[in-house]
A and B are shown apart, each in its own frame.
Chain A
Amino acid sequence: MHTPILEGGFADKPVDAAHAFRAVMTAMARPGDILDVTGAQPPAPLSIAAGALILTLWDPETPVFLANSHNTAEIRNWITFHTGAPLVDPRDAAFAIGTWNTLPVGSFSRGTSEYPDRSATLIIELDQLTNSGAVLRGPGIKDQAELSLPEADAFQENARLFPLGLDFIFTSGARLAALPRSTKVS
């Protein structure tokens, strides 16, 4: 009998989701800060932090896109059971998840001048997440911060589009950091 992996959701949904939401909100408000999120045990290759983000932010009203690195039957079943989020093309997606190399970053919605909020938020899985590498400046950062971004050019280009552009959340293990479109990368 076909038995998908469905366990690994939040044990105490309201409390765990509130903690994860607080973590991602803080990460967005203070780009470069690395925060811990726990509570989810998603199927591999999803990281714990990415699983917690999915359980917290995705629902039937957020179309999502899975990059090839994460587009497995197990993950699709898990996401559908726990969130009910519809799987769509990159163009229509509000959220996307994958590794940096497998995500078609150019094809996501960057919002419109009337509605800059209608843009995608990308969850990018990294092997390592440390406070070293690219230098970040901008709102929410005192002087400057450092974050191990996979590359700098794409994020510089993204920041130039402000107020349009994509928002990024980086995850690795149980840790996450965020890079909103307002942050200047150098």
Chain B
Amino acid sequence: MNIMSDPNAARKDWLGLLAKSPADDVTRLWAALPVKSDHIVLRAPEIGGVMVRGRAGAVGAAFNLGEMTVTRASVKLADRTVGHGYVQGRSKEHALCAALADALLQTGAAEAVEAGLLTPLRTAMAARKEARAAKAAATKVDFFTMVRGED
């Protein structure tokens, strides 16, 4: 599906960000967030495994890349908004924070959550990516071919 036309693109984006960010970062930022909401837990945090599948170059047949541990949770806010959190790793607190953030991002509190949680996570994610890319770039070798003088 074309990302531009996907009505769930924004939600996919923030769920992906919450899932991939380190548990410590998410729980720390969540604790500092000024928005709090009454909620009931629909699905208490539980740990399980999923098979990650991939496609080489994003084309061709899917293959099983490997298994990874995930933790999931679901919550319902007082205004009946349902939020789901699926995160990597074994942190139950992380999953619960992700579910609450997902629910709040669908409500009027979205801006506060965006500013206090998603933006710092996004910055940290970009920094990690850049650091990794820089580390890899330092090992890059450029080969020069001397003119061989055939002509």
Residues of A within 8 A of B (CB): 1, 3-4, 6-7, 9, 11-13, 81-82
B71 in contact (CB, < 8 A) = no
Contact code string B17-45 (vs A, CB < 8 Å = 1, else 0): 00000000000000000000000101110
Q: Which residues of A contact B76 (CB under 8 A)?
A: 3, 6-7
| A114 CA to B80 CA, complexed, in Å | 49
| A54 CA to B40 CA, complexed, in Å | 21
Find out whether the CB atom of A6 lies under 8 angstroms from the CB atom of B42.
yes
Find out whether the CB atom of A7 lies under 8 angstroms from the CB atom of B40.
yes
Find out whether the CB atom of B82 lies under 8 angstroms from the CB atom of A3.
yes
Closest to B106 in A: A1
The 25 listed contacts between A and B (C-beta, < 8 Å) are: A1-B80, A1-B81, A1-B106, A3-B76, A3-B80, A3-B81, A3-B82, A4-B82, A6-B42, A6-B74, A6-B76, A6-B82, A7-B40, A7-B42, A7-B76, A9-B42, A9-B43, A11-B44, A12-B44, A13-B44, A13-B46, A81-B42, A81-B43, A81-B74, A82-B43
Closest to B43 in A: A9
In the A-B complex, list the 9 residue pairs whose CB atoms are closest, starting with the nearest: A3-B80, A6-B42, A7-B42, A7-B40, A3-B82, A6-B82, A7-B76, A9-B43, A6-B76
| A7 CA to B43 CA, complexed, in Å | 8
Closest to A10 in B: B44
Closest to B77 in A: A3
| A6 CA to B76 CA, complexed, in Å | 9
Minimum CB–CB distance from B100 to chain A (whole Å) comes to 15
